[in-house]
């Protein structure tokens, strides 16, 4: 996460994530699922621009943008700017916690695909907590930000301290940063349709379980020992395939395009391959586009 002042505005570039490993341990009494997951932060960013307002009202405008440094005035029609938006929920939670009444104008510039399992909404929510804590000079500690983040969603805590990679446990709120030995070039392919996270979790069966534990997986990841067959583990991949022919066909296209590890991120629908070099990744992306997959891009892990 990159945070800086630009005139009267505070700008936050907040990254996407990909899940290299996701194991579900069971359903909890509170309705959430206990899990172990390995997340990596990747070089694809949403941008939030915060400006203080003279009123005590909050206004959120959502824009679509393809370039990191270009501000788009084009509205993002598919993204609600009302109370269901995680940015609005984060802002309201911060007000409730602190009693702060100053209004704010927020511009959200979207690049991270929606309903893709890449953490875009969670990342935006965390950026709102971090950004407004600084803009409003609230002085909240990292511990407090983690407590607030856990109230917003399972992936939000991952972004609070912006680790390059981490093991996340519990329902995702317990974050243990890890170090990877090198940058991982990845090809991401997003199907045309999205999936509802609750629907995917409801389809999950306890019989779908990775045989390797998360610590063993991280050890192999750090030593570069991941193979084509077992390089990416995701317990939600099978239920997502049941729910979406688009996910099934995108994964099949990726596996035809490369012999590198291929899998799905989070609850879907983004599918990805982990390559050895950026040149190799660009070649895989070119083959995917040639196969008719329209939304394909290359990103690097932030290692």
Domain span at residue 24 reads 2-177
d(CA 289, CA 234): 25
Instruction: Give the domain-ending residue among 133, 151, 177.
Output: 177
Do 65 and 11 share a structural domain? yes
Do 164 and 37 share a structural domain? yes
Crossing angle (nearest 10°) for helices 245-257 and 278-290: 130
Condensed to tens digits (0 to 9), the pLDDT of residues 228-239 reads 777 899 999 999
Instruction: Give the domain-ending residue among 128, 147, 177.
Output: 177
The domain total for the chain is: 2
Could you tell me whether strands 103-110 and 295-300 are parallel, antiparallel, or unpaired per DSSP bridges? unpaired
Do 190 and 131 share a structural domain? no
The CATH number linked to 252 is 3.30.70.890
pTM of the complete model: 0.93
Low-confidence residues in the chain, pLDDT < 50 = 68-75
Q: Can you give the pLDDT at residue 66? A: 61
Do 219 and 149 share a structural domain? no
Do 212 and 135 share a structural domain? no
Condensed to tens digits (0 to 9), the pLDDT of residues 51-65 reads 999 888 899 999 887
Do 129 and 7 share a structural domain? yes
d(CA 161, CA 93): 19
State the catalytic residues.
17, 155
Do 144 and 62 share a structural domain? yes
């Amino acid at each position: 996460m990159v945070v800086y002042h630009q005139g009267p505005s505070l700008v936050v570039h907040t990254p996407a994530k990909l899940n290299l490993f996701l194991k579900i341990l069971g359903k909890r009494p509170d309705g959430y699922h206990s899990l172990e997951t390995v997340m990596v932060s990747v070089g694809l960013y949403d941008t939030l621009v915060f400006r203080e307002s003279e009123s005590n009202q909050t206004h959120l405008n959502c824009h679509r943008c393809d370039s990191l440094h270009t501000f788009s005035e084009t509205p993002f029609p598919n993204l609600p700017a009302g109370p269901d938006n995680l940015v609005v929920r984060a802002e309201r939670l911060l007000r409730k916690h602190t009693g702060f009444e100053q209004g704010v104008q927020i511009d959200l510039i979207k690049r991270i695909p929606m309903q893709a399992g890449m953490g875009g909404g969670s990342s935006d929510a965390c950026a709102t907590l971090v950004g407004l804590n600084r803009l409003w000079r609230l002085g909240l500690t990292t511990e407090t930000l983690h407590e607030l983040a856990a109230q917003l969603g399972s992936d939000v805590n991952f972004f609070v301290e912006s680790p390059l990679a981490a093991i996340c446990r519990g329902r995702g709120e317990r974050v243990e940063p890890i170090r990877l030995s090198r940058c991982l070039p990845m090809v991401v392919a997003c199907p045309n349709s999205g999936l509802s996270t609750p629907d995917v979790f409801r389809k999950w069966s306890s019989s779908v379980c990775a045989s390797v534990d998360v610590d063993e997986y991280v050890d192999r990841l750090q030593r570069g020992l991941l193979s084509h067959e077992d390089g990416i583990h995701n317990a939600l991949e099978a239920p997502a395939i049941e729910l979406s022919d688009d996910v099934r066909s995108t994964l099949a296209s990726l596996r035809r395009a490369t012999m590198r590890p291929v899998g799905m991120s989070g609850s879907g629908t983004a599918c990805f391959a982990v390559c050895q070099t950026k040149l190799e990744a660009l070649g895989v992306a070119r083959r995917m586009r040639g196969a008719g997959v329209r939304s394909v891009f290359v990103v690097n892990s932030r290692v």
